[in-house]
Amino acid sequence: MIKNAVYAQSGGVTSVINASAYGVIKKCFSCGEIGKVYVGLNGINGIIGDDLADMDCEEPYEIDLLKTTPASAFGSCRRKLSESHEDEFKKIFEVFSKYNIGYFFYNGGNDSMDTANKIYNYSKKIGFDLSVIGIPKTIDNDLYGTDHSPGYGSSAKYLATAILEASLDVKSMSADSTKVFILETMGRHAGWLAASASLARVNANYGPHIVLIPEVPFNREKFITKVDNTVRRTGYCSIVVAEGLNDDKGNLVAHFGATDSFGNKQLGGVGSTISSIISEELKLKVHTAVPDYLQRSGGHLSCYTDVNEAVLVGSMAVHYALQGKNGYMVSINRISDEPYYVTYDLVDLSEVANNTKTIPNEFITDDGMDVTTEFIKYAKPLIEGEYYPPILNGTPRYAKLRLIR
């Protein structure tokens, strides 16, 4: 009997995660080997709660609009599955059995691949015929086993544009007003996002002048010296700092204290902390900005490379599942930088789950407060090209799905 598929999204969203959903849905529709396509609403929660939407009920035009619709069209979650709570797994597989599911596609980052791996292992334990394929997604670019992750390129483009324009702003006002501008980016354990802001310098170096990342312990004295020297040299200083910045004892420079189900602390506030240090030590006027959700859901700045690769990892997940592959995540392998060329492969879910890919030393300058030309060479192809959403009445027209249960 022909089997059905279920897809779900998990973790923090991106501007291109729905492009991966589009890739999955369109490939399932066209392959002729999969029956119905369901989507779990709000991630694994929708599967546990038997809350699925039937993609046959959606208008084709709205499905096409998923390619340029940011955030999660189906709802996401941060739910952690525990092997000690077997009742959760029983509910999941009751739903799989009820809807004749033979293919499970889970779209997310490190923690999401942990969920996918646990479902894969449980299917083997009970002898349930199921193909589990993970689909990479994260703006943080810290997903293990892939050269980069869909979502990173568009967020990098957003942040590089934001710091470029903000640097020009502070430069304009620096004669007798603001001397320092700080942009606080996401990035819990790895500084890929903060580093990407350095792409603002590819055409002209207006900033950022300093990039602070979790991979390098924050040194207050060296930092203040560099800020002071930069202001004396250029008249202003533009800074990017990752929210997960640590001190020399491995403690977060700033956080709010609350934690999620995976034990991750809610981060934020490091920009203000750095600002206070500069004001205290150098008596300079400082402005701080926190783009927060804006940097991950900026669909108006999604880049061509990112959208296309997001679609392809979705369609390749279906392709590999139909080949009988099971227990893997789709990975992107870079073949060359110039011309930029990648291929698609598989990596074991067990290798990806809960691992973190940090910035390698060759991408970090000797003083630990900037990135090298090797990083620029790596990141530049990922932000190239534009993939604008359709504009209606002056604003983007994003997908409007029925989500019929």
Contacts of 302 (CB under 8 A, 6+ apart): 15, 16, 68, 70, 154, 157, 386, 387, 388, 389
Contacts of 275 (CB under 8 A, 6+ apart): 180, 182, 286, 287, 288
Residue identified by tokens 């970090």 is: 364
Q: Which of 190, 199, 102 is nearest to 143 (CA)?
A: 190
> Look-up: residue for tokens 């959760």?
88
Of all helices (H) and strands (E), which one includes residue 343?
strand 341-348
Cis amide bond preceding 208, omega within 30: yes
* Cα first-last separation, the chain: 23
Distance CA 251, CA 66 (A): 40
DSSP letter for each residue of 386-400 = --PPPEETTEE----
Integer Cα distance of 212 and 404 in angstroms: 46
Residue 68 and residue 303: Cα distance in Å, rounded?
10
366 is known as an active-site residue: no
Give the DSSP per-residue string, 59-111: -HHHHHGGGG--S-SS----PPP-TT-HHHHHHHHHHHHHTTEEEEEEEESHH
Locate all alpha helices (DSSP H) within 323-366, ordered by sequence. 349-352
Q: Which of 111, 114, 140, 370 is catalytic?
A: 140
Cα separation, 372 vs 366, whole angstroms: 9
CA angle 348, 352, 357 (to 5 degrees): 135
User: Rounded distance, CA 152 to CA 136, Å?
Assistant: 11
Q: What amino acid positions are annotated as catalytic residues?
A: 140
